[in-house]
Structure 1
Amino acid sequence: MTNYLYGANVQANGIRQHYLRYGGQGLPLILIPGITSPAVTWGFVAERLGQHFDVYVLDVRGRGLSEASPTLDYSLDAQAADIAALADVLGLAHYAVLGHSMGGRIAIRMARRFKPQGLERLVIVDPPVSGPGRRPYPSGLPWYVDSTRQSLRGMSAEDMRAFCPTWTEEQLRLRAEWLHTCDERAIVASYNSFHEDDIHQDLPHISLPTLLMVAGRGNVLLPEDIKEIQGLMPDVTVARVENAGHMIPWDDEEGFYQAFGYFLGAPV
């Protein structure tokens, strides 16, 4: 039995933002996916989280069914402002934010820049820690651009397997169906932001409870990166999912849920 409720579009921060809602009860939770992950690709996670929380999975600007255009601002600051505006438009008095990869960076910038009164908890899942003067993000831009361009012509699950060899047939099908909705301008701008925006400067200014979830088999966050984050956010809670790469719930779904513990107030 599904707990998917509906999809909707709202005008927030001057653009059309599309989201999918699951559950409808408990603490509201805004889920922000990564650089080429439309909201629908996180549906299987939202189904589980929706058993306990009121989940809103966002299509980040330039992805999925949210607004995209040649002139749209795809900066990290604009994306962060989207989340604050979305929570306001939805009338969320108290809520948590979960961001994966790029979504984690958006969540960090949003929490520091806007300090929303209703924001109670942050979950940051394997965020890129590249930035000015730091090592580059381990995945190269061509991986994203080449797969997206191929999806624009039409792409099968088998075609997608060349880019995501460990994924299941169902996961590959869904990505092949939806990847074409990711605007290349948005992808390039966000990828460049990984290297140009310094999220480390934001971390000491975030005082709310924060869970940092790390992929045990990933190379996005190294031990020294985790130590640096702990130095900047002494109260951060760190959870490792040992048997997962960067796309944690795709690699070890149960491990992903277990890593939450009671951080959100109830086990997932």
Structure 2
Amino acid sequence: MPSTYLYGANVNANGIRQHYLRYGGNEGERAKRDAVILIPGITSPAVTWGFVAETLGRQFDTYVLDVRGRGLSEASTTLDYSLDAQAEDVRALAQALKLERYAFVGHSMGARIALRAARTQPRGLTRAVLIDPPVSGPGRRAYPSKLPWYVDSIALATKGIDAEGMRAFCPTWTEEQLRLRAQWLHTCDERAIRASFEGFHTDDIHADLPKLRVPALLMTAERGDVVRETDVAEMQTLAPELQHTRVPNAGHMIPWDNEAGFYAAFGDFLGARLV
């Protein structure tokens, strides 16, 4: 099947350089549908979600973001890596790209960014997909992953690591997935990762849920212990219109574990089925 990848580009939005990858375009049937802004997780540069964007791009004009401090987006010793800054980034990105109607699709940290951005009801946002968001926060249980898992692997990648060396951190991944992570992980700024990980435990995303005014889909993994059934119930109490689907045979990195199940879980929520 032909690739839907179009190009990578940079834009100045929210006062920083934001890099993104574009898939699909806005011609044909895609022109009738809302664009998609895909927001990856804490140590996932945009390119590592390319295989998902390929599929999204068959139905939607798709933009995959390098969150600040990751990939080819801006990073520095003075950059604000807070959740609020990241949320303002995606709002500003949509404006800079002149998107009239668009959806957020965020994974893990990206889901928290999408939710924080959505609470301000940005112009043009039509829906949001929140994929296995960390539900940690003030007074709540800790996020299951530990900071050294991220920091240690980044340190090794910065010096140079191959796929086999990365296998110790991601033992279930394929050779291709490991090679890509080994190639790009060094672009994740440790300061950004530390700030985001700390934010998992200090930012209260549950306070954002009652302010959600667009249709939203919560997609969770059957394994990984990131979002439990009790968490889903609480989130739906706070946002009664929040839809939920759980993907079987998958841990937190859902499309890596069960790609077909991941696409099926969207149903027609975005306006067209992915499978």
AA at the equivalent of 2:203? D
Deviations 1:210-232 (A, max 9, x none): 00000011210011101100101
Match status 1:129 vs 2:135: yes
Indicate the residue corresponding to 1:69 in structure 2.
76
CA distance in 2, matches of 1:144, 1:126: 18
Shift of 1:259: 0.1
Match status 1:78 vs 2:79: no
Deviations 1:31-82 (A, max 9, x none): 0000000000000000001000000000000000000000000000000000
| Structure 1 portions without partners, runs of 5+ | none
Measured on the aligned residues, the alpha-carbon RMSD in Å equals: 0.5
Structure-to-structure mapping, 1:153-168, within 5 angstroms: 153-168=159-174
Indicate the residue corresponding to 2:209 in structure 1.
203
AA at the equivalent of 2:241? D
Structure-to-structure mapping, 1:216-231, within 5 angstroms: 216-231=222-237
Query: 1:44 aligned to 41, 51, 61, which one?
Result: 51
AA at the equivalent of 1:3? T
CA distance in 2, matches of 1:170, 1:195: 32
AA at the equivalent of 1:210? A
AA at the equivalent of 1:185? R
| Structure 2 portions without partners, runs of 5+ | none
Deviations 1:154-201 (A, max 9, x none): 000000000000000000000000000000000000000000000000
SS of 1:200's partner is: helix
Match status 1:9 vs 2:48: no
Shift of 1:117: 2.0
Given that 2:40 and 2:107 are in contact with CA atoms closer than 8 Å, whether structure 1 keeps it comes out as yes
Q: Count how many residue pairs are aligned between Structure 1 and Structure 2.
A: 267
TM-score by length of 2: 0.96
Shift of 1:207: 1.6
CA distance in 2, matches of 1:202, 1:217: 25
Percentage of identical aligned residues: 70
Indicate the residue corresponding to 1:254 in structure 2.
260
CA distance in 2, matches of 1:266, 1:53: 8
Indicate the residue corresponding to 2:181 in structure 1.
175
Match status 1:34 vs 2:41: yes
Structure-to-structure mapping, 1:93-112, within 5 angstroms: 93-112=100-119
